[in-house]
Copies of this chain bind each other. A is one copy, B any other.
């Protein structure tokens, strides 16, 4: 019997439209356990100060909280603390790489390779880099089961490829890409590998050294942490050679009127006052996740996903996407025939079931799938079979409410 996680998440015991909430939009953001909220409040109530800058005790405490969080994140993904840069979200992390690495290392004739399943945050920045540097942006397409086409990879990955940017888990299909294999293949042709870990780091153990990723971006808020804190991991050697991205306070060494030298890693990439409250929350979140354990997280999510898919498959008017591949994690995307996903979401909302409807910030993938929009249920370990039953019951009501025969 699993621990009743609901005890730690008051919001999951609350009501939405007079029903206990079944929160199935964890791909967008997760809820926060009490320990995380307590840690934020504890920070502001007892240690709040500007870190790095002050000699006095309060500031020393803030610095320690902030740097402890960095060490914790480093350990969590098997990196070194100097290789962990705090940002505001995964999107900023990816933009940092696009601006500081991309704009400065690409030139005409080079190519950037991404997949058609990328989130806009790992797509639009590369489009802009391609436009600014006159490089070509190529796409890896998918097999019928939703997985990356190896033939397409082999065709498009060449020694012109300077950057391979790939999500470890698609936020629409929930399929786990074999990033380790991809990275090895990309490194063979000399490309740098940027991994979007926004959907993977919260759900499966991620080891940057084992993957041999050059960069890994993810967001705190999708792994129990407060909003406003994201992470960029980068290999030390690469980060050291990159120019700063944002500039200003705390990332400098010496500033003269016409010239500036920059601080060492990781400060070089952290300009201005950082989100220490967010870091405090992130620390507590990692502690909580490690308490649960990835073996449990994977087991629970796998059970919920399999159960959902098998129940939805019983409904002839439901169409599923990417649900036949085995490398599937916690995300089920579907449509109800003749009903627009926004109407589905509204009807589910009235039943207290929170799912996401729309393009999921992946318009090129939607187009590839031939859909304008879809419904998405995404799980975290605190969800239960009861949540799935509520989802299925609500789905069964939809066509009736919509007056479809």
Interface positions of A (Cβ within 8 A of B) = 10-11, 14, 16-17, 21, 23, 25, 28-29, 31-32, 36-37, 40-41, 44-46, 48-50, 53-59, 88-92, 94-95, 99, 116, 119-125, 127-128, 137, 139, 219, 221, 226-230, 246-250, 252, 254-260, 271-278, 342, 345-346, 348-349, 353-358, 361, 363-364, 367
Contact = CB atoms under 8 A, between A and B. Distances in A.
The 10 closest A-B pairs by CB, nearest first: A91-B272, A121-B248, A228-B275, A228-B228, A28-B50, A55-B345, A91-B248, A249-B361, A56-B354, A56-B349
A55 B349 contact: yes
Nearest to A60: B349
A122 to B, nearest CB: 8
B255 A57 contact: no
A28 to B, nearest CB: 4
20 contacts: A16-B58, A29-B48, A37-B44, A40-B40, A40-B44, A40-B226, A53-B356, A53-B361, A89-B274, A92-B272, A95-B246, A95-B271, A116-B257, A137-B258, A227-B275, A227-B278, A228-B228, A228-B278, A230-B272, A248-B361
Nearest to A130: B258
A309 B57 CA distance: 25
Binding site of A, secondary structure by majority: helix, strand, loop or mixed? Answer: mixed
Nearest to A246: B95
A56 B345 contact: yes
A10 B247 CA distance: 34
Contact of A226 (B21, B91, B248, B277): B277
Identify the interface centre among A21, A250, A356: most chain B CB within 10 Å of its CB: A356
Nearest to A349: B56
Given A53-B356, A53-B361, 14 more contacts: A10-B45, A29-B48, A40-B44, A55-B345, A56-B353, A57-B349, A88-B272, A91-B272, A95-B246, A95-B248, A125-B246, A127-B260, A227-B274, A228-B274
